[in-house]
Structure 1
């Protein structure tokens, strides 16, 4: 009877020790998970759909668009990039006006709408930096030459009147020339193009010593003269009709 009691007591002690060890193990795992969650909550940086977080430092340059990532201050540096649509205006006025196929010069203002593409975040971050990615002046410096050259190329494919009446085709051709891919636009993507202003460049702004302007002046003078003659003929016909009615 004494042996049985001792065996039972020993078995119970072993069971208690085993359960205690298991409890300690579960507690340690639970504590570890709590610490992980705390670290995750403390260092997890999340951004909205039109922003990106850029992380540099340990592990190299990493980006997250519209979501988040772990950023540990000791090892990493974070920056935020605005990925909303930005407007860039390109103006060609006066003696710098756009030369059309018929050599008539046009005063034109075109708005280009661009944004950083998801696939181009790293390239833009390296080239401009996250803070300057949406800076208007930085974007003008980046795209002015490219967009201006595209306007010159397209302008020579339209007579002035066509440019004025076929704006939609003009915008399509601009998009085709510039391209819409990230590679074409150095990490950005083209969203749309709009012609804000389009008028014939005033004659007094043209240079008669410039061969293109000289041709344009000749064309404008010829067109306006013919229109003046046509208008005069119409007025005379009206006067004749009135005279006949009076008789």
Structure 2
């Protein structure tokens, strides 16, 4: 007796049983006595990183930057990667936001800091494409079965002066730099 399993767009079917694990991206049959089929969401999911105030990004010129970035991530739609993710976190949890945040938030946040410290605030503000490209390079595309598809900067401004700590060496240097820029632009 065979059961027909439908696989929708944006899904994979992971079949396990007495033989090796198989992955299907199209409709297929299983023998329910010997096999179990689980669906895995392989569509795009978003992780948002929002760094503001004292947690803002520090630029090369020590200007602290409030930034919100959206990362588009998915399970890479290959047999090997679907199997890897299924064994690592399970089919059901593969695209839960909490799972993705646990797996990737630290790495993504670190990539933002790594690239941000290489650029002055004005360079970052006026050249977001370069910033995004560099973040993608730092993160990499292969993330243990997941892939980074795109990065979007949703918000970018220097952190307001009242949110900066004058006792912090980087913030005090950033405050000085912001005041210089304001003075130059007012003349």
Deviations 1:149-175 (A, max 9, x none): 100010011110111110111111111
- Structure scoring higher RCO (CA < 8 A, sep ≥ 6) equals 2
Q: Pick one of 148, 151, 154 that aligns with 1:190.
A: 148
Instruction: Give the corresponding residue for 2:137.
Output: 176
Post-superposition offset of 1:191: 1.3
Q: What is the correspondence of 1:108-187 to structure 2 with a 5 Å cutoff?
A: 108-119=67-78, 120-180=81-141, 182=142, 185-187=143-145
Q: What is the correspondence of 1:26-105 to structure 2 with a 5 Å cutoff?
A: 39=1, 42-64=2-24, 66-105=25-64
Range with greater deviation from structure 2 (66-75 or 145-154): 66-75
Structure 2 runs not aligned, ≥5 long: none
The separation in 1 between residues aligned to 2:90 and 2:3, in whole angstroms, is 22
Deviations 1:169-196 (A, max 9, x none): 111111111111x3xx111112111100
The separation in 1 between residues aligned to 2:166 and 2:145, in whole angstroms, is 42
Post-superposition offset of 1:225: 2.5
Name the TM-score, length of structure 2 as normaliser: 0.93
State the secondary structure of the residue aligned to 1:154. helix
Structure 1 runs not aligned, ≥5 long: 1-38, 231-247
Post-superposition offset of 1:95: 0.3
The separation in 1 between residues aligned to 2:7 and 2:35, in whole angstroms, is 17
The separation in 2 between residues aligned to 1:57 and 1:201, in whole angstroms, is 55
Larger radius of gyration: 1
The separation in 1 between residues aligned to 2:135 and 2:152, in whole angstroms, is 10
Post-superposition offset of 1:212: 1.0
State the secondary structure of the residue aligned to 2:94. helix
More strand by share: 2
User: Would you say how many aligned residue pairs link Structure 1 and Structure 2?
Assistant: 185
The separation in 2 between residues aligned to 1:206 and 1:48, in whole angstroms, is 50
Which contiguous aligned blocks of 4+ residues in structure 1 show a shift greater than 3 angstroms? none
RMSD, aligned CA: 1.4
Name the TM-score, length of structure 1 as normaliser: 0.71
